[in-house]
């Protein structure tokens, strides 16, 4: 018997659809998934450039995808690894729950309360208009803050629990920003997976090559 049955909350927000399922995985399942992701994922720490200065990203990340097309966000280009068995299983479970298909997953490892993810929207061109982003969380509970870009009263916080699932869809990535702030609380490690559907960038024609051809001729 599940003592803490999963609860689905749909938030009523302007220009966004946000759905939270607290116990998408049981605590036992979530413990097993957390430990194996911690051990098996090829975690890396990238540099980000802010105002011309390179900084270490305040968390570890990894990208796994069906194709080997590189993905660029916040000035970082990541080369994906192929899905492993566990990630494929989680992807399929998330696809059944959301009725959406995903072909890549960006993983974040927040080592402690000092690790964070600044205000941003997942609005890269390759995600298309109104993307569905599904995130699952394991390990320490952290606050997920989200605010409307212009409606100042629309500023909220949600605690993302061990084994939970969060769906962001509709116009959310266009009108809202989200973040995982640092915390002074004693918190352990947290792993978050955001499933996305990434389409290939349209190939840009290579004008220089054409020009060289003209000169040679």
Ligand X SMILES: O=C(O)CCC(=O)C(=O)O
Binding status of residue 106 toward ligand X by CB under 6 A: yes
Q: What token pair was written down for 202?
A: 């349209």
Nearer to ligand X, 58 or 86 (CB): 58
Which whole-number Å values give the CA distances from 141 to 27, 102, 161, 183, in the listed order?
A: 13, 25, 5, 11
21 within 8 A of 7, measured Cβ to Cβ: yes
Binding status of residue 108 toward ligand X by CB under 6 A: yes
Binding status of residue 134 toward ligand X by CB under 6 A: no
176: nearest Cα among 199, 158, 192: 158
Q: Which of 147, 148, 162, 178 binds ligand X (CB under 6 A)?
A: 178
Binding status of residue 98 toward ligand X by CB under 6 A: no
User: How many residues make contact with Fe ion (CB under 5 A)?
Assistant: 1
User: How many residues make contact with ligand X (CB under 6 A)?
Assistant: 12
Nearer to Fe ion, 28 or 130 (CB): 130
Binding status of residue 66 toward ligand X by CB under 6 A: no
80: nearest Cα among 94, 68, 72, 89: 68
Nearer to Fe ion, 72 or 210 (CB): 72
Nearer to ligand X, 15 or 118 (CB): 118
| Distance in angstroms (rounded) separating the CA atoms of residues 107 and 86 | 13
Name the H helices within 56-148: 85-98
Binding status of residue 180 toward ligand X by CB under 6 A: yes
Binding status of residue 124 toward Fe ion by CB under 5 A: no
Q: What token pair was written down for 72?
A: 């660029």
Binding status of residue 122 toward Fe ion by CB under 5 A: yes
| Distance in angstroms (rounded) separating the CA atoms of residues 215 and 217 | 5
- The helix-helix angle for 85-98 and 27-40 (nearest 10°) equals 130
Nearer to ligand X, 116 or 210 (CB): 116
Positions touching Fe ion (CB under 5 A) are 122
């Amino acid at each position: 018997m599940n003592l803490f049955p999963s609860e689905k909350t749909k938030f009523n927000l302007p220009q966004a659809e946000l759905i939270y399922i607290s116990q998408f995985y049981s605590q036992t399942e979530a413990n097993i998934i957390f430990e194996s992701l911690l051990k098996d994922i090829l975690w890396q720490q990238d540099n980000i450039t802010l105002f011309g200065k390179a900084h270490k990203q305040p968390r570890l990340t990894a990208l796994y995808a069906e194709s080997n097309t590189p993905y660029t966000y916040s000035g970082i280009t990541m080369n994906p690894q192929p899905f492993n068995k566990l990630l494929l299983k989680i992807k399929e479970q998330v696809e059944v729950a959301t009725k959406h298909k995903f072909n890549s997953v960006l993983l974040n490892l927040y080592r402690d309360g000092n690790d964070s993810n600044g205000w941003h929207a997942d609005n890269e061109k390759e995600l298309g208009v109104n993307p569905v982003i599904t995130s699952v969380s394991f390990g320490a509970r952290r606050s997920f803050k989200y605010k409307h870009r212009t409606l100042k009263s629309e500023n909220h916080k949600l605690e993302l629990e061990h084994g939970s699932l969060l769906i962001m869809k509709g116009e959310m990535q266009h009108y809202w920003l989200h973040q995982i702030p640092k915390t002074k609380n004693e918190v352990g490690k947290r792993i978050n997976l955001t499933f996305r559907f990434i389409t290939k960038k349209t190939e840009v024609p290579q004008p220089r090559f054409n020009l060289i051809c003209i000169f040679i001729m």
